[in-house]
């Protein structure tokens, strides 16, 4: 009976009526199809059926099955759906090992009619199981299948259909005692594979997933189906894991005698076993057109259990073992008319399979007598029951050893019990359970298990797993003359590479590890990715930016690692802000418990900032307060002291702790080896290729590389704001934004600028490259080797090497230790190698070398001339050139289509001021560019905004170019006043709708560094600014005065303005920002009330969003030294 039959019989052909009744008919059909017939007699079943015309119910002829222990009887009706079986009226074939297999020979798929018939039956079962699907969907799908079969003679099962079919086939497997688990089968859909290499990877994954460190999981891997005129995909092994059996000249066998024949096949294909008792046989896989290939099973993936006995110490000395995962590898999966000749599947062992059959069968390891003698049993007479006693003890040893090593196993009593339960369930759910008594009953103590006393009915339901002819028997051996072992590792290094490659491939469905990063200049991201590559070996790892993370996923996490830097003054980097807001909210509302989440935080920062690694610390604390389990003390990576080395150390520790905490085994030195190898430059992994075509437009390419809205802005002018003779130079840069789209900003925002590296440095690097790689007109792209094939490496767009060095890569910042390590691996000269290694290993040495020389990449290449940088090395290993931020120095409407920047030019001499002169990349670029386009983006700073209530006072505190954002504030204020009709408020009182605005400005010398002096005095004259307070730090003949000193002098003003709910804005370097905080706290102390001390008062200012900082960076130690 089909759904369509039911549909037309019950509903007739009227389409309107049909549609309205579809839902109810589907429900009726479901109840009919899986009618709970178990406890009913034939007549009762008929009465119970809600679809009158149901042919299935009409044809019912139930078989009574009795349980001989309790005389309980049930009626099997499910067998009516059985396929024909091979028994005939003269004999029962029930005990034939080959069973009732319906498998057909290779090379031809089922004839279309037969296939369609099975497809239809399968589809009905599938749709009945899918309660949410409608009949309309069923019909649509059926039409699709018909069309596909007509055209291609086969069709594609959807992934859901395939998974449903695989589970159902297990449910239908009449010989399996462990079927109660049938719903928990994981399906690896490997129908896309084309080569034996890909099959091998899938098998590795299967084994890894199934083993799961001993906590076994059931899985099936399904390779492509049989096709007409094509060889089958086959796995030749009987099981995924089997021990070799070596036939000896004296007729004995070393190893497992069951596998002598297959071992010979492996040997014939070039495999050389070690001749041991427990050598795992390689996988022999064949794919169309490729013939059989031999692949070693990676030892790392094989979980072996050494057998010992709880009472007999000598047992362990017998050197017995068995593998953890039993996986049938040679059966054909028959589903919906489609045949899948390669579909290995696994569950877990019942102890007697090993203890009774594998080890004690006379044609297997046959250890019965040996054990009996060691036990001191009398083996001369069967009446001593020595065999029975041995069997029990060996079974005890198997159970004991597996349990001791935390490997899943079930004893035959429990298995039998659960099978009884399964039968009961099945009887209720579908009116029967096909079961082959001969196989279900355990090989020892049979009659003391309940299954022994249960009548069973054996029949064949589809989908099913079928026996098929051994692959080597079907194979045409004449095709091959000389087969070699596919993988033979030449060296340890190769093996290591292969292992990491392999492990990366088999990561699906391991314990999940999520690595979140938040980064401003890219380091935290780089670290997070490096950590990801390590964890990937044992966890299913995802590395994700905080801003792309859905906070709702937090409660679902297992292993959760955060790698983040701190920016501003103790703030999250821009891409961590949103996450931090949501995480703090979770904490405040106390809505989530993360008690099952294990976490670790690595924080990057600079100890020169007062709030060192503040964001990381906050995240760490918050996760603790949400009751997540901290796996490892937070790592603090200091910019000024061996940040990378600290990270490397922390990562190794974390990996170990995480593996231990999830009971995963790791080679002790694995993380070290991994990190070392990860830091080595693997030149065979990348290649460059010249591409035809036009030079790309930079702006869109930068947009892709940096994932920001990057726009061109033309430099209109740059004006020096200090006299020419000044040692320091600050320039006002005017940019035209006409060409830029979506380029809106507010006072307080930043502009990100992408600089261009100086051509002098670029030239020096190019000079180091091989001449043929220097060809400047060549547009090149990079490819990387993935699973043996070259694939595009998408870090940079195709471009010339000069463009890459000028526009995309950071070649002026001193190379980090990892880069030095990579360079060391390219060095030919031993001295170069040693010195580079010393630099990357010795933190002190590295830091002082970096500070003293401040070497660019070009300097390093010149210092270590035997290093070799290829184009591929440059394009893949040199860090990206980061944008520079500038506080916008203009109000949006003050000058239509213009953005102004106040830029302090960076120049310094290395070697404690005595070495060569250096120029800041971006500042010197901006200083040299009128009429050119600069590529920029807006960075919105939600925290550095003028108060929305304009009547509130504003205290602005800045030093040097730290005055930059305040220019946008005062321009905005002037504009707003004008808009209110106050065109000239000179000598007038400030309208009360605007609060007081004062500026504290720190400079070096009066008349030299007092930038915007004229503009400021005119603002004061006009009454727009209430007052400017200058602080001069190097005024000849005057005492040093920093801006915080002047602030303290004016404490009464500060207190008054704060008492009027005023806002404080601080802009400059981190040290200055820190000093201002301290000064303000001192001031607040003088206004201290009884309820609140100065710390609390300051905290309140922060909490009320009335204290704003815009921190530029650190003050370099050499800044103070005169050039």
Ligand X SMILES: Cc1cc2nc3c(=O)[nH]c(=O)nc-3n(C[C@H](O)[C@H](O)[C@H](O)COP(=O)(O)O)c2cc1C
Least separation in angstroms between residue 610's CB and ligand X is 7
Whole-angstrom distance, CA of residue 999 vs CA of residue 964: 12
Q: Which residues contact 188 (CB under 8 A, 6 or more apart)?
A: 202, 205, 206, 209, 219, 220, 221, 222, 508
Which of 780, 922, 999, 1047 is in the footprint of ligand FAD by CB under 6 A?
Answer: 922
Catalytic residue at 849?
no
Catalytic residue at 1092?
no
Helices (H), 542-663: 577-589, 614-625, 643-661
DSSP 603-635: EEE-TTSSSTTHHHHHHHHHHHHTTPEE-SPPE
The reply to whether omega before 463 is within 30° of 0 (cis) is yes
Kindly report the backbone phi and psi dihedral angles of residue 688, in degrees, each rounded to the nearest multiple of 5, phi listed first: -110, 150
Which of 812, 890, 1033, 1074 is in the footprint of ligand FAD by CB under 6 A?
Answer: 812
Least separation in angstroms between residue 1006's CB and ligand FAD is 21
Least separation in angstroms between residue 161's CB and ligand X is 46
Catalytic residue at 348?
yes
Stretch that binds ligand FAD, among 346-354, 468-476, 881-889, 994-1002 (CB under 6 A): 881-889
755 counts as binding ligand FAD under rule CB under 6 A: yes
Least separation in angstroms between residue 567's CB and ligand X is 5
Residue (of 445, 356, 591, 435) closest to 94 by Cα position: 435
Q: Could you say which of 348, 580, 650, 970 is catalytic?
A: 348
Q: Could you say which of 81, 110, 171, 179 is catalytic?
A: 179
Kindly report the backbone phi and psi dihedral angles of residue 770, in degrees, each rounded to the nearest multiple of 5, phi listed first: -60, 140
Please say which residue, 137 or 746, places its beta carbon nearer to ligand FAD: 746
Cβ neighbours, 10 Å, residue 1123: 11
Q: Considering only CA atoms, give the Rg of the chain.
A: 38
Stretch that binds ligand FAD, among 67-75, 505-513, 624-632, 921-929 (CB under 6 A): 921-929
Whole-angstrom distance, CA of residue 298 vs CA of residue 292: 18
Which of 467, 908, 1004, 1051 is in the footprint of ligand FAD by CB under 6 A?
Answer: 908
Cβ neighbours, 10 Å, residue 459: 21
Identify the burial level of 639 via C-beta atoms within 10 angstroms of its C-beta, where 0-12 means exposed, 13-18 middle and 19 or more buried: middle
Stretch that binds ligand FAD, among 218-226, 267-275, 863-871, 916-924 (CB under 6 A): 916-924
Please say which residue, 237 or 606, places its beta carbon nearer to ligand X: 606
Whole-angstrom distance, CA of residue 1032 vs CA of residue 985: 30
Stretch that binds ligand FAD, among 86-94, 109-117, 223-231, 902-910 (CB under 6 A): 902-910
Identify the burial level of 487 via C-beta atoms within 10 angstroms of its C-beta, where 0-12 means exposed, 13-18 middle and 19 or more buried: middle
Least separation in angstroms between residue 528's CB and ligand X is 9
Least separation in angstroms between residue 1074's CB and ligand X is 9
SS3 (DSSP) at 293: strand
Least separation in angstroms between residue 272's CB and ligand FAD is 59
Instruction: DSSP letter for 1106, please.
Output: -
1108 counts as binding ligand FAD under rule CB under 6 A: no
Choose among ligand FAD, ligand X, none what residue 604 binds, the Cβ cut-off being 5 to 8 Å by kind: ligand X
Using alpha carbons only, what angle is made at residue 140 by residues 134 and 142, rounded to the nearest 5 degrees? Answer: 105
527 counts as binding ligand FAD under rule CB under 6 A: no
Q: Could you say which of 231, 353, 974, 976 is catalytic?
A: 353
Which of 754, 808, 886, 1000 is in the footprint of ligand FAD by CB under 6 A?
Answer: 886
The token pair at 907 is: 């120049």
Least separation in angstroms between residue 1071's CB and ligand X is 11
Residue with tokens 């046989």: 281
906 counts as binding ligand FAD under rule CB under 6 A: yes
Whole-angstrom distance, CA of residue 1064 vs CA of residue 887: 17
Which of 921, 955, 1046, 1047 is in the footprint of ligand FAD by CB under 6 A?
Answer: 921
Please say which residue, 690 or 1102, places its beta carbon nearer to ligand X: 1102
Instruction: DSSP letter for 800, please.
Output: -
Stretch that binds ligand FAD, among 144-152, 166-174, 679-687, 903-911 (CB under 6 A): 903-911
* Closest-approach residue to ligand FAD (CB): 920
Catalytic residue at 828?
no
Least separation in angstroms between residue 732's CB and ligand FAD is 11
Whole-angstrom distance, CA of residue 948 vs CA of residue 950: 6
Please say which residue, 7 or 903, places its beta carbon nearer to ligand FAD: 903
Choose among ligand X, ligand FAD, none what residue 574 binds, the Cβ cut-off being 5 to 8 Å by kind: none
Stretch that binds ligand FAD, among 335-343, 503-511, 687-695, 896-904 (CB under 6 A): 896-904
List 956's β-bridge partners, or say none.
999, 1065
Residue with tokens 């892709």: 704
HEC readout, 397-433: HHHHHHHHCCCCEECHHHHHHHHHHHHHHHHHHHCCC
Please say which residue, 485 or 640, places its beta carbon nearer to ligand FAD: 640
Residues 949-988 binding ligand FAD (CB under 6 A) are 961, 964
Kindly report the backbone phi and psi dihedral angles of residue 335, in degrees, each rounded to the nearest multiple of 5, phi listed first: -145, 120
Least separation in angstroms between residue 920's CB and ligand FAD is 2
Choose among ligand FAD, ligand X, none what residue 964 binds, the Cβ cut-off being 5 to 8 Å by kind: ligand FAD
The alpha carbon dihedral of 406, 407, 413, 417 has a sign of positive
Which of 920, 995, 1002, 1023 is in the footprint of ligand FAD by CB under 6 A?
Answer: 920
CB 259 within 8 A of CB 238: yes
Least separation in angstroms between residue 518's CB and ligand X is 8
Whole-angstrom distance, CA of residue 711 vs CA of residue 169: 59
SS3 (DSSP) at 905: coil
164 counts as binding ligand FAD under rule CB under 6 A: no
Please say which residue, 223 or 612, places its beta carbon nearer to ligand X: 612
Return the exposure string of 971-988: e unless at least 16 CB atoms fall within 10 Å of the residue's CB, then b: bbbbebbeeeebeebeee
Q: Site residues (CB under 6 A) for ligand X?
A: 519-524, 565-570, 573, 604-606, 609, 611-614, 639, 1111-1113
779 counts as binding ligand FAD under rule CB under 6 A: no
Please say which residue, 605 or 815, places its beta carbon nearer to ligand X: 605
Whole-angstrom distance, CA of residue 75 vs CA of residue 62: 5
728 counts as binding ligand FAD under rule CB under 6 A: no
Which of 227, 884, 967, 973 is in the footprint of ligand FAD by CB under 6 A?
Answer: 884
Element (H, E) at 562: strand 559-565
Please say which residue, 293 or 750, places its beta carbon nearer to ligand FAD: 750
Least separation in angstroms between residue 959's CB and ligand X is 15
Q: Could you say which of 49, 54, 176, 360 is catalytic?
A: 176
Which of 155, 602, 885, 1030 is in the footprint of ligand FAD by CB under 6 A?
Answer: 885
Please say which residue, 90 or 1120, places its beta carbon nearer to ligand FAD: 1120
Catalytic residues: 176, 179, 348, 353
Where do contacts with ligand FAD occur on this chain (CB under 6 A)?
A: 750, 755, 812, 854, 884-887, 902-904, 906, 908, 920-923, 961, 964, 1112-1113, 1116, 1118-1119
């Amino acid at each position: 009976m089909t759904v369509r039959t039911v549909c037309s019989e019950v509903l007739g052909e009227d389409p309107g009526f049909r549609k309205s009744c579809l839902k109810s008919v589907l429900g009726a059909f479901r109840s009919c199809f899986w009618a709970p017939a178990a406890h009913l007699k034939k007549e009762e079943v008929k009465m119970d059926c809600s679809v009158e015309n149901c042919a299935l119910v009409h044809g019912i002829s139930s078989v009574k099955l009795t349980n001989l222990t309790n005389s309980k009887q049930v009626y099997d009706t499910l067998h009516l759906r059985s396929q024909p079986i091979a028994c005939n009226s003269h004999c029962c074939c029930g005990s034939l090992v080959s069973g009732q297999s319906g498998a057909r020979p290779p090379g031809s798929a089922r004839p279309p009619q037969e296939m369609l018939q099975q497809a239809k039956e399968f589809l009905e079962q599938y749709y009945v199981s899918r309660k949410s699907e409608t009949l309309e969907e069923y019909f649509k799908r059926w039409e699709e299948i018909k069309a596909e079969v007509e055209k291609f003679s086969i069709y594609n099962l959807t992934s859901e259909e395939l998974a449903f079919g695989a589970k159902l086939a297990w449910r239908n497997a009449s010989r399996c005692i462990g079927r109660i688990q049938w719903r928990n089968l994981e399906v690896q859909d490997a129908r896309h594979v084309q080569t034996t290499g890909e099959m091998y990877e899938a098998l590795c994954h299967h084994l890894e997933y199934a083993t799961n460190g001993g906590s076994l999981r059931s899985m099936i891997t399904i390779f492509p189906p049989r096709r007409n005129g094509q060889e089958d995909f086959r796995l030749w092994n009987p099981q995924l894991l089997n021990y070799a059996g070596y036939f000896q000249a004296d007729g004995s066998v070393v190893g497992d005698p069951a596998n002598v024949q297959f071992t010979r096949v492996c040997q014939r294909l070039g495999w050389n076993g070690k001749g041991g008792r427990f050598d795992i046989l390689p996988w022999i896989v064949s794919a169309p057109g490729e013939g059989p290939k031999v692949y070693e099973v990676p030892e790392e993936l094989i979980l072996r259990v050494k057998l010992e006995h709880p009472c007999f110490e000598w047992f362990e000395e017998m050197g017995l073992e068995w593998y953890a995962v039993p996986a049938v590898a040679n059966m054909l999966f028959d589903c919906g008319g489609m045949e899948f000749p390669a579909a290995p599947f696994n569950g877990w062992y019942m102890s007697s399979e090993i203890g009774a059959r594998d080890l004690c069968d006379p044609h297997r390891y046959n250890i019965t007598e040996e054990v009996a003698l060691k036990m001191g049993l009398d083996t001369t007479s069967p009446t001593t029951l020595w065999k029975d006693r041995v069997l029990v003890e060996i079974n005890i040893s198997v159970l004991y050893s597996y349990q001791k090593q935390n490997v899943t196993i079930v004893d035959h009593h429990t298995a039998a019990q659960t099978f009884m339960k399964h039968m009961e369930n099945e009887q209720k759910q579908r009116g029967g359970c096909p079961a082959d008594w001969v196989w279900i009953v355990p090989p020892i103590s049979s009659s003391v298990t309940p299954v022994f006393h249960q009548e069973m009915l054996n029949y064949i339901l589809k989908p099913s797993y079928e026996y098929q002819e051994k692959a080597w028997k079907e194979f045409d051996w004449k095709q091959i003359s000389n087969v070699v072992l596919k993988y033979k590792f030449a060296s340890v290094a190769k093996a290591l590479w292969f292992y990491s490659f392999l492990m990366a491939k088999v990561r699906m469905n391991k314990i999940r590890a999520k690595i979140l990063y938040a980064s401003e200049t890219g380091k935290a991201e780089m670290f997070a990715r490096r950590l990801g590559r390590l964890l990937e070996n044992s966890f299913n790892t995802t590395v994700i930016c905080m801003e792309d993370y859905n906070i709702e996923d937090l409660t679902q996490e297992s292993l959760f690692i955060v790698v983040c830097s701190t920016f501003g003054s103790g703030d999250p980097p821009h891409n961590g802000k949103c996450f931090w807001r949501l995480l703090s909210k979770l904490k405040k509302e106390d809505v989530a418990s993360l008690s099952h989440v294990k976490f670790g935080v690595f924080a990057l920062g600079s100890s020169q900032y007062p709030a060192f690694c503040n964001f990381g610390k906050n995240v760490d604390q918050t996760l603790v307060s949400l009751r997540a389990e901290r796996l490892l003390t937070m790592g603090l990576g200091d910019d000024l002291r061996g940040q990378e080395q600290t990270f490397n150390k922390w990562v190794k520790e974390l990996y170990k702790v995480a593996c231990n905490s999830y009971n995963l085994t790791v080679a002790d030195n694995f993380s070290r080896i991994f990190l070392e190898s990860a830091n080595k430059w693997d030149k065979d992994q990348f290649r460059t290729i010249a591409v035809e075509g036009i030079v790309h437009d930079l702006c869109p390419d930068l947009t892709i590389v940096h994932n920001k809205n990057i726009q061109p802005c033309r430099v209109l002018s740059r004006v020096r704001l200090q006299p020419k003779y000044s040692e320091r130079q600050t320039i006002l840069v005017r940019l035209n934004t006409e060409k830029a789209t979506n380029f809106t900003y507010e006072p307080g925002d930043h502009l990100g600028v992408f600089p261009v590296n100086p051509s002098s440095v670029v030239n020096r690097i190019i000079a180091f490259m091989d001449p043929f790689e220097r060809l400047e007109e060549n547009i090149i792209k990079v490819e990387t080797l993935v699973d043996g094939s070259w694939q595009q490496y998408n870090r940079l767009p195709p471009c010339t090497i000069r463009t890459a060095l000028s526009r995309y890569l950071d070649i002026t910042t001193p190379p980090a230790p990892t880069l030095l390590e990579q360079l060391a691996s390219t060095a030919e000269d031993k001295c170069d190698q040693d010195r580079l290694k010393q630099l990357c290993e010795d933190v002190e040495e590295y830091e002082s070398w970096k500070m003293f020389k401040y070497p660019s990449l070009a300097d390093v290449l010149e210092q270590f001339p035997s290093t070799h940088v290829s184009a591929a090395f440059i394009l893949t290993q040199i860090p990206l050139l980061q944008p520079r931020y500038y506080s916008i120095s203009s109000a949006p409407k003050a000058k239509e289509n213009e953005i102004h920047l106040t830029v302090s030019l960076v120049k310094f001499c290395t070697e404690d001021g005595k070495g060569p002169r250096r120029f800041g990349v971006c500042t010197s670029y901006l200083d040299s560019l009128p009429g050119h386009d600069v590529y920029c983006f807006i960075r919105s700073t939600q925290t550095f905004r003028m108060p929305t209530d304009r009547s509130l006072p504003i205290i602005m505190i800045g030093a040097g170019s730290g005055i930059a954002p305040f220019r946008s504030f005062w321009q905005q204020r002037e504009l707003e006043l004008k808009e209110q009709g106050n065109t000239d408020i000179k000598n007038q009182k400030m309208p009360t709708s605007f609060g007081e605005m004062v500026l504290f400005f720190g400079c070096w010398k009066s008349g030299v560094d007092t930038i915007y002096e004229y503009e400021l005095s005119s603002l004061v004259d006009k009454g727009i600014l209430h007052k400017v307070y200058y602080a001069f730090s190097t005024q000849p003949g005057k005492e040093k005065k920093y801006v915080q000193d002047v602030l303290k002098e004016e404490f009464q003003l500060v207190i008054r303005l704060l008492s009027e709910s005023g806002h404080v804005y601080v802009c400059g370097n981190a040290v200055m920002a820190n000093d201002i905080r301290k000064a303000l706290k001192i001031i607040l102390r003088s206004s201290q009330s009884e309820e609140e001390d100065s710390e609390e008062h300051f905290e309140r200012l922060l909490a009320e969003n009335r204290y704003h900082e815009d921190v530029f960076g650190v003050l370099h130690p050499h800044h103070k030294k005169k050039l």
